[in-house]
Amino acid sequence: MVIRNPNCRGTARAPPVVLALTSDRTIIYGVDIFGWKFVNSRLFADEYASHGFLVLIPDLFDVNESASLLRFGAKLLSLSVFVPFLLRNGKASQEAKIGRLLAHLHETKPNSKIGFVGFCWGGRFALTMNSQFDATVACHPSRVTFPQELQEINKPISFAVAETDHHYGAETAAETEKILKAKGVEVVVVVYKGVQHGWAIRANIADTDKKVAREKAREQVMTWFERHLVV
């Protein structure tokens, strides 16, 4: 597990016993495919923590596997790399890892409000595990079985999606909003123009428009959790 070190920028790797930090507003951060070592994820965790949240990043993949993915980078789509990765990290195993951390939080911090934000790979679990949290946010989710994986959503959920994204674009987002509102779920869907899949965590901030979109997505996450993780 990775947890923000309050004494420095960045994160410190630590065992679950470090959950003695004082905030009762907790965010579990679901990483993209590059794992918890990806510096952008650590910086985002710090940004969220600066608003008074305890932010925890579970290691969804083997630590060495994450390093390998970062090293492969653009070659990630190579079948020799990606297919074995998918086989080792199926939906059930990912949910089990998140679930163990969530259970530990319920045991050690029973009065906490707990949210989940996920990006790309991790964004899927903002949908499939929504009912286990007080609120969730899905940023450009991928590998979602649509619309089946909307069925268990019954807690507040916010979506940040790119207008053009073959994983989860504007058309899917509009249908998502329609389905969830019909169920009486509190849902917000924001479609960002001029960005691509992954922009919220991997935006080119040298591009002014993409930087602005990235900042708006960050504020979307913070606004959602400030509203719903109230203790």
Going residue by residue through the chain, which has 231 residues, state the pLDDT in tens, using 9 for 90 and above: 333 333 334 333 333 334 446 789 999 999 998 888 888 888 889 999 999 999 999 988 865 555 455 555 545 556 666 677 777 878 999 999 999 999 999 999 999 999 999 999 999 999 999 999 999 999 999 999 999 999 999 999 999 999 999 999 999 999 999 999 999 999 999 999 989 898 888 877 788 888 899 999 999 999 999 999 998
Nearest to 158 by CA among 179, 182, 127: 127
- Whole-model pTM: value is 0.85
Question: Which pLDDT score, from 0 to 100, does residue 139 have?
Answer: 97
Type of residue at 71 = R
* Domains detected in the chain: 2-228 (3.40.50.1820)
User: Strand, helix or coil at 92?
Assistant: helix
CA distance 118 to 130: 11
Cβ pair 14, 44 in contact under 8 A: no
CA distance 229 to 109: 14
Q: Inter-axis angle of helices 63-72 and 79-88, to 10 degrees?
A: 150
